[in-house]
Amino acid sequence: MAFLLRSISRSADGREIVRTSKVSDDLLKVGRDPECDIRLNDLAVALHHATIEQVSATRVGVSAEMGMSIELDGSNTQFGQIDLAIGGTIKIGPFLLRVMPPELGGEDVPIVIQRADSAEVLDKFDTRRFALQSVMPGKRLMAWSLTLAVLAIFLVWPIMSFYQNRDQADRMAGGFHPDSLWSTGALSQSHAALGSNCQACHVTPFEPVRDNACKTCHVSVHDHADLSRMQRATPQLGGLRRIQQSIGTWFGQTPGRCVECHTEHEGPQQMVATPQQFCADCHTDLRARLADTRLAAASDFETGHPEFQPLVLIQWDGNAPRFERVALNRRPLEQSNLKFPHALHLGALGGAAQAARANQLGARLECASCHTPTQDGTRFERVDMERNCGSCHSLSFDENGGTIRRLRHGSPEQVIADIRGLYRAGGPAFPPELSPGARGRPGDANQVRAAVQFARARAGVAARGERAIHAIFSAPRGTCYECHNIVAPPPGTLNYRIRPIQFTSRAGPGQPESGRYIEHGWFDHRAHQLVQRPGQRREEGSAACLSCHTGVRTSQRAADLLLPDLQSCRACHGGERTRLPVPSTCAMCHDYHMDRGVPAELLRQRTRGQRRPSTVAAACGGRR
Amino acid sequence: MASRGLRTGLGDGTAHESFLRYRRYRWFKIAAILSLLLVIVYLVVDVHPRHNGGSWLGYGLGTIGAGLIVWLSLLGIRKRAMTRGRWSLKAWTSAHVYLGLALIFFGTLHTGFQFGWNVHTLAYVLMMLVILSGVYGISVYALLPQGLSDSRSEMTGPQMIEAVGSLDKQIQISAQPLSDEDSAIVLGSLGEDPFGGGLWSRLTGSHPRCGNMRALEIMRVRHDDSSGKEEQAIEQVLQLLEKKAAALQRLRGYIRRRALLEVWLFVHIPLTFVLFAALTAHIISVFFYW
């Protein structure tokens, strides 16, 4: 019984060297130790790694030492047996021990010992591994996988979502939709609710946003002017802008669309004021293309804007007022039929100031004593005689049992009748001689005398009443005459009449619909309650009003139209680009969408609480 | 024209001129003037309400930028054909570098500095990554090769591996007398893959779990604790482990420099393709939702 060991190694030049030895024992120690029967010179092999033992004539057993493992016919194990009829392979460390079937007739078990050249070792010294590529995924793989991922997420997914959700506004109203990956920026504050619904505006693929999409919600927006007139008024653009427009038109971006001004995806802001150029394109020389226009040329508030032309009541045709737009530099007079000297009323001394003190209105009358702004801040409440003037200009004429009787304002016939009645009531007692059945002094002479005396007394009373009526309607101190133009009565009568009072801003017969002096522009008084003109001190209250309405302090008659002129505004307001404190585009005062309401921009700023009661911030260099 | 081309061609051959300095920085000057013009136009032109990709200037810059990206990417095809003269590969590469840098201006001004979490900014970011990786590539090409030859100590790559391999063999032989415990430790050094570690290890040169280093540390302690024959055996192994550590350091230093030199290509090239995808999505989306 013996083991025949055949150890195969290779020389440096690759030649095979075989060493054969025989161990006459039925037990073989395998390990790195020099005392082992099979010595395996590798550190992966323990000093005493395993034992091979002949367990029968046909079987050989292999067992690993404590803590070691071997590989028997390809599987890791601690011990096992090899059938000598077919042989088997034991792998210990890098060595292969092939147990062969004994030769025919022999008993010796041949074992071939060979070092296995592992692929691992070869790989370890592969010079291709110097390149970074050996530890990186392939460039081609990276490129393809990322490319496909980007196309799938950012192109295919949003397009699929578009077609799936088409015409399903309720589904689009909220939540995440892949097409939002295409959004170039947040929508404006007023459109924020549409943020997740791209299709609200982008209706058809590859078609620029159309006005129809806007009109789905904005049903009552007025056009700027008649479309055919607008087309005639639009100038031929020159140079770059013409090229720009024709390229845009070629791509379906026709001029005049809502989105030209109402640009979106610019972040959560309010609508940005339309640039001046947008208006100036047509209005700089409108008359050249639209000969019948009544609008003067305008291009820039600072350098090209006509003088304000308020609508003024310039004349009366009988009782019908005639209004006309007259430039302020032509010093129009407003024939309102009212007598009202502003100078007298705002004076620090005199009756008006005294009356103000007596009525506890302050040291003197202020603008606000009579003029109350409307809710929208752009206009004033109508001045009312009883409310605003009555506390000083009393219409009382009698006291009866503690009740003050007042002349009825607005009704001259009633005034005349009331005065007559007053004097009649205070006349002589009717004499008993003239009463049938009454007892008087007997005799005709007595009755005649009583009648004569009574007639004389009555005539005196009537004459006093007529004198009083004349006085009320006449110079110099007639109650009505003080403020009104009086129409003298026909001779022999007392039928005094008052000329009707009328202003542009006051409803009445023949009154223009706008009811405003400046028909096409808006001014926000509330934004000017605190005024600081460049180089001047801050003004508030009446002084703020009078810093613009400069003629008020000296105005002796109501006919003076005391609106500030262009020059006055230009102290602070310049054009779009200006050195003046307030750069002002057309949109600051004018509304593109023409209607009679307050301009949308003013309303927006008001509702958002951004309208300031002051010009100070602007005057100090702030921008609004 | 032809004779001029021939002369320049000869001129190119006589003295080395890098693609960066090609024709006294001709393309640098062109790109710089272009970029400066662009900035001036951007500042002068008044776009309402503010600069963005959808204005006439934005569309213009976008179109030029996209065209430039396509042309820049063609270097990948062009580089496979080496020619001389005005349209030599050197001229082309020089233009690629400087016009690629000018693309920063085209792209950035095209955005109008409006960024967000969307496909448009994705395309911009990818473009910038490609450009910046290119800038990195140029920089390492200019700076690293010197260090690369220094690190090799006049050795070639295979020689460096060979050095490690032969040390492994010597360690294998010297460690035969060691105990099972000690040989297991030394085996850790033999099992150490000189190329081991991923991208990070290669870029940083940091191999915190190096088997050789660990074996060295433990064997030093073992050496102090041992005596007699064992001490001698351990000392011999220890010397070899130290030699191997030096060989590994040299090898890995070289690998690190190569990684630093090559890594930009793994960004520059794949991301160029991804950029094309994002650019396609960007352009289609803009016109889809016009």
> How far is Cα B128 from Cα B112, in angstroms, rounded to an integer?
15
Residues B24 and B81 in one domain: yes
CA distance A275 to chain B (A): 7
Residues B12 and B89 in one domain: yes
List all residues of chain A from 33 to 52 with a beta carbon under 8 Å from chain B.
41-44, 46-47
**Is residue A388 pLDDT above 70, yes or no?**
yes
Residues A539 and A602 in one domain: yes
B219 shares contact with chain A (CB less than 8 Å): no
Of the pLDDT bands very low, low, confident and very high (cuts 50, 70, 90), residue B288 is: very high
Residues A509 and A605 in one domain: yes
pLDDT (mean) for A528-541: 89
Question: Do A185 and B114 lie within an 8 Å CB cutoff?
Answer: yes
- Residue A125: its chain B contacts at CB < 8 A? 161-162, 164-165, 194
Judged by average pLDDT, the poorest of A179-183, A242-246, A370-374, B198-202 is A242-246
The CATH number for A14's domain is 2.60.200.20
pLDDT top residue among A10 and A92: A92
E strands along B190-251, which residues? none
Residues B257 and B272 in one domain: no
Residue A153 lies in a domain: no
Neighbours of B69 (CB within 10 A): 22
**Is residue A221 pLDDT above 80, yes or no?**
no
**Is residue A589 pLDDT above 50, yes or no?**
yes
Look at residues A102, A124, A146 and tell me which one is the last residue of a structural domain: A124
Residue A198 lies in a domain: no
> How far is Cα A100 from Cα A97, in angstroms, rounded to an integer?
9
**Is residue A260 pLDDT above 60, yes or no?**
yes
B284 shares contact with chain A (CB less than 8 Å): yes
Residues B206 and B173 in one domain: yes
B186 shares contact with chain A (CB less than 8 Å): yes
Judged by average pLDDT, the poorest of A350-364, A437-451, B189-203 is A437-451
CA distance B30 to chain A (A): 26
Domain span holding position A324 = 311-384+503-619
The percentage of chain A sitting over the pLDDT mark of 70, rounded to a whole number, equals: 89
Residues B162 and B233 in one domain: yes
Residue B89's nearest CA partner among B76, B105, B103 is: B76
Residues A404 and A536 in one domain: no
**Is residue A495 pLDDT above 80, yes or no?**
yes
Average pLDDT, chain B: 85
Domain count, chain B: 2
- Residue A266: its chain B contacts at CB < 8 A? 49-50, 52
Domain span holding position B207 = 157-262
Residues A404 and A358 in one domain: no
Look at residues A427, A451, A482 and tell me which one is the last residue of a structural domain: A482
**Is residue A357 pLDDT above 80, yes or no?**
yes
A158 shares contact with chain B (CB less than 8 Å): yes
List all residues of chain A from 166 to 205 with a beta carbon under 8 Å from chain B.
179-185, 198, 202, 205
| Tokens representing residue B146 in the block | 């010197």
> How far is Cα A501 from Cα A107, in angstroms, rounded to an integer?
146
Residues A11 and A87 in one domain: yes
Tell me the per-residue pLDDT of B265-285, one tens digit each, with 9 for 90 and over. 999 999 999 999 999 999 999
Instruction: Please give the pLDDT value at position B286.
Output: 93
Residues A374 and A413 in one domain: no
Look at residues A76, A109, A124 and tell me which one is the last residue of a structural domain: A124
Q: What is the DSSP string of A558-619?
A: TTB-----HHHHTTTEE-SS-SSSEE--GGGT--SS--SS--HHHHHHHHTT---SBSHHHH
Tell me the per-residue pLDDT of A96-119, one tens digit each, with 9 for 90 and over. 999 988 887 788 889 999 887 655
Residues A468 and A552 in one domain: no
Instruction: Please give the pLDDT value at position A429.
Output: 66
Highest mean pLDDT among A247-251, A322-326, B159-163: A322-326
| Tokens representing residue A496 in the block | 């005094």
**Is residue B4 pLDDT above 50, yes or no?**
no
Highest mean pLDDT among A173-182, B11-20, B118-127, B211-220: B118-127
Tell me the per-residue pLDDT of A567-586, one tens digit each, with 9 for 90 and over. 999 999 999 999 998 899 88
pLDDT (mean) for B101-117: 94
Residues B129 and B179 in one domain: no
pLDDT (mean) for A52-68: 89
Residues A452 and A587 in one domain: no
In which region does residue B289 sit, left (phi positive, over 0), alpha (psi from -120 to 50) or beta (all else)? beta
> How far is Cα A176 from Cα A620, in angstroms, rounded to an integer?
45
List all residues of chain A from 216 to 245 with a beta carbon under 8 Å from chain B.
244
**Is residue A539 pLDDT above 80, yes or no?**
yes
Instruction: Please give the pLDDT value at position A614.
Output: 46
Residues B32 and B45 in one domain: yes
Three-state SS sequence of A468-533: HHHHHHCCCCCCCCCCECEECCCCCCCCCEECCCCCCCCCCCCCCCCCCCCCCCCCCHHHHCEEEC
Residues A111 and A76 in one domain: yes
Residues A465 and A511 in one domain: no
Of the pLDDT bands very low, low, confident and very high (cuts 50, 70, 90), residue A620 is: very low
Residues B244 and B275 in one domain: no
**Is residue A127 pLDDT above 80, yes or no?**
no
Residue A135 lies in a domain: no
Residues B258 and B270 in one domain: no
Q: Are A77 and A69 in contact (CB under 8 A)?
A: yes
Of the pLDDT bands very low, low, confident and very high (cuts 50, 70, 90), residue B24 is: confident
CA B179 to chain centre: 46
Residues B120 and B199 in one domain: no
Residues B93 and B221 in one domain: no
B265 shares contact with chain A (CB less than 8 Å): yes
| Tokens representing residue A218 in the block | 């904005």
Residue A438 lies in a domain: yes
Residues B275 and B245 in one domain: no
**Is residue A76 pLDDT above 80, yes or no?**
yes
Q: Are A590 and A522 in contact (CB under 8 A)?
A: yes
Average pLDDT, chain A: 84
Question: Do B54 and A147 lie within an 8 Å CB cutoff?
Answer: no
Residue position matching structure tokens 């991804």: B274
Instruction: Please give the pLDDT value at position B6.
Output: 35
Domain count, chain A: 3
